Structure 1
Amino acid sequence: MSRTAGRVASEFSMTPAVSVIVVTYQWPEALERVLASLARQESPPLEVIVADDGSGPETADVVRSGQSLAPFPVHHVWQADGGFRAAGARNRAAARASGDYLLFLDGDCLTFPDFIVRHRTLAEPGWFLAGNRMLMNQALSARVLDGRDEPAGWNLSCWLGARFRGEVNRLLPLLRVGDANWRKRRAARWQGARSCNLGVWKDDFLRVNGFDESYQGWGHEDADLVVRLMARGCQRKDGHYAVPVLHLWHREHARDLEPENVKRLEDALAGQRDPVAERGVNQYLDEGVEIDG
């Protein structure tokens, strides 16, 4: 089946072939928990691609372990460590994705067992899906990382206790609501859409040339992607009360280059930059990106 025919079939059935792209850098313990959460999905993805922004051999070991345990292919796409270059790592992984729907996830965000099936259910042509997250505090994150706690399997009583102790910042994301018109009420709102939990059709992603790699250091490359998607007619669909993720606590990244990134985003919002990224995913589409698995 051709890619075009496959895309039409997926759109008609509303069950796209999902490639999950997990970006990571030098935190193999967190990546191990994320991959384990994806391996327990009620409906598995087509594949998981670890977008590695220059980690060492410990991360490669975690990926190999995940490959042996997961009921789907787990690939490892690596780029040399040149500072915070998450945009490039995600682009490299997206270029190798086989699915027609890309689900971007951060390497410190754990999924619930219904994560993939609910993303598939809400996927709709012409829209990207912006999920949300629940923040875990340092103490709970430590217990999750060493295997003492598994929040995705908690009952309501456990969640209420965690909220009372301040171990999670909110409980409303645990609600599960189906598709509805209100999910499109913020169709033109870019604020709050993050690539830690973002679903987008691969064709739409390619149409804007993916993430803009002129964003270096922490911050705003995901907002820039969303702004450019909207400029090309792709609108936002709200994933609240359907596809939350559990975010592990960590110290904030250095933000030395944030002012330059903010300026680039402001230019995009003002229409002063082309919606098609100058340095994006197209540079990897016709070359052999190194891939393990």
Structure 2
Amino acid sequence: MMKPNISVIISTYNSVEWLKKVLWGYNQQTYINFEVVIADDGSIEETKNTIDTLSKKVKYSITHVWHEDNGFQKSQILNKAIVACKAPYIIMSDGDCIPRKDFIQVHDTYKEEGYFLSGGYFMLPMNVSNLITKKDIESNICFSIDWLSENGLTKSFKNNKLKHTGLKAKFLNFITPTKPTWNGHNASGWKKDIIAINGFDERMQYGGQDRELGERLVNLGIKSKQIRYSAIVIHLDHPRGYANKESWKINNGIRKNTRSTKVNTTKYGIVKK
């Protein structure tokens, strides 16, 4: 098999119905020389069985990276997935984010040495999330504002994320007040840069661990580009039982130290120092 130019890391945990939709989304990509590495934070056997079945049906290769369930340890499993990536360039997203068919192509087009890319997501309500079928993903209709509106989506300025492509999307990337940060649901960068900062800080549980990785990339001298209106994923709704105030408090303290000391690596990452 040809070595992939891009590795896509998808994080997941016991959410097979959403993961199926996401993996079908990657099967529609216009860019074809990529692999998917699934960072599985301890799911039960059902997830493995689903991945094994879909691996035989999709056009790309899937590597399933798993560890035993020990609570929310997303940073740990992401580090293992980073090591497993075969390509020099990595896109990170989540198992609840269906990519539009040009998603990987956009990341490939904008990638540049010395930069990471910052994308966003388009949040769907639960009723619409449940409605989307494999057929809707294959036809790309689930990215149509008209179709989404017919099925209950309310009007919002954020709908521009799905309305515009090309130059209009570039213009919106340029004028948005949202800063380009590393977002776990939609960001990409060079594997060598991510390795240089030692990946994710494994002390961090839920709440900003992706942003902290981006802050260390910036401290390393890596710049960021905004592509939130060009690289599109639709985010399926779900409960967030893993969120808690204590982890946010710990993570905010680590991030504050990263920004104030300008540290560009961590002792608690891929390599334990």
Whether the TM-score (by the shorter chain) exceeds 0.5 is yes
Are residue 279 (structure 1) and residue 268 (structure 2) matched? yes
Out of 152, 165, 170, which is 1:176 matched to?
A: 165
CA 1:41–1:114 in 2, change beyond 3 Å: closer, same or farther?
Answer: same
The equivalent residue for 1:153 is 141
SS in 1 for 2:199: coil
Amino acid at match of 1:280: G
Alignment of 1:39-58 (within 5 A): 39-58=27-46
Identity of matched residues, %: 27
What does residue 252 of structure 2 align with?
Answer: 262
Give the residue type in structure 1 aligned to 2:150: G
- Are the counterparts in 2 of residues 43 and 116 from structure 1 also a CA contact under 8 Å? yes
Does the CA-based 8 Å contact 2:172-2:229 persist in structure 1? no
CA contact (8 A) 1:39 1:70 kept: yes
Q: Is 1:103 paired with 2:106?
A: no
Q: Deviations over 1:74-99 (max 9, x none)?
A: 11010111111111111101101110
Task: Supply the AA of the counterpart residue of 1:59.
Answer: T
Equivalent position SS for 2:229: coil
Q: Quick check: 1:72 aligned with 2:60?
A: yes
Residue in structure 2 matched with residue 13 of structure 1 by the alignment: none
Q: Determine whether 1:31 maps to 2:19.
A: yes
Task: Give the partner amino acid of 1:197.
Answer: N
Paired position in structure 1 for 2:70: 82
Distance in 1 between residues matched to 2:157 and 2:237, nearest whole Å: 11
**Cα distance in 1 for residues equivalent to 2:159 and 2:174:** 23
Matched-pair contact (CA < 8 Å) for 2:97–2:233: yes
- How many correspondences in the alignment? 263
- State whether residues 21 and 51 of structure 1, in contact with CA within 8 Å, keep that contact through their aligned partners in structure 2: yes
User: What amino acid is the match of 1:282?
Assistant: V
Q: Is the 8 A contact 1:173 1:244 kept in 2?
A: yes
How far apart, CA to CA, are the structure 1 residues paired with 2:270 and 2:113? 21
CA shift digits 1:91-135 (9 cap, x unpaired): 101101110100001111110111111110011111100111000
Query: Which residue identity is paired with 1:258?
Result: W
Contact 2:182 2:213 in 1 (8 A): no
2:219 alignment partner in structure 1: 231
Q: 2:172 & 2:158 partners in 1: Cα distance?
A: 21
- CA deviation profile, 1:233-269 (whole Å, cap 9, x unmatched): 0011001221021101111233142111111111111
Asked if residue 202 in structure 1 is aligned to residue 191 in structure 2, the reply is yes
**Counterparts of residues 122-161 of structure 1 (less than 5 Å):** 122-144=110-132, 149-150=136-137, 152-154=140-142, 155=144, 157-161=146-150
- TM-score (norm. length: structure 1): 0.81
Q: Which residue of 1 aligns with 2:228?
A: 240
Does the C-alpha gap of structure 1 residues 236 and 39 become closer, same or farther in structure 2, counting only changes over 3 Å? Answer: same
The equivalences for 1:112-123 within 5 A come to 112-123=100-111
Q: CA deviation at 1:50?
A: 0.5
Distance in 2, Cα, partners of 1:103 & 1:86: 16
Q: Distance in 2 between matches of 1:57 and 1:169?
A: 41
Change (3 A) 1:137 1:161: same
Change (3 A) 1:70 1:148: closer
CA distance in 1: counterparts of 2:150 and 2:27, whole angstroms: 27
Q: Which runs of 5 or more residues in structure 2 are unaligned?
A: none
CA separation in 1, counterparts of 2:182 and 2:160?
18
User: What secondary structure, in the 3-state scheme, does the structure 1 residue paired with 2:56 have?
Assistant: helix
Question: TM-score, normalization: structure 2?
Answer: 0.87
Query: Counterparts of 2:159 and 2:171 in 1: how far apart (Å)?
Result: 23
RMSD (Å), alpha carbons: 2.7
Contact 2:122 2:233 in 1 (8 A): yes
Q: Output the CA distance in 2 between the equivalents of 1:37 and 1:97.
A: 20
Whole-angstrom CA distance in 1 between matches of 2:153 and 2:61? 38
**What is the match of residue 93 of structure 1?**
81
Deviation at 1:158, TM superposition (A): 1.7
SS of the residue corresponding to residue 257 of structure 1 reads helix
Tell me if structure 2 keeps the 8 A contact 1:45–1:116. no
1:148, CA displacement in angstroms? Answer: 7.7
Preserved CA contact (<8 Å) 1:20 1:45: no
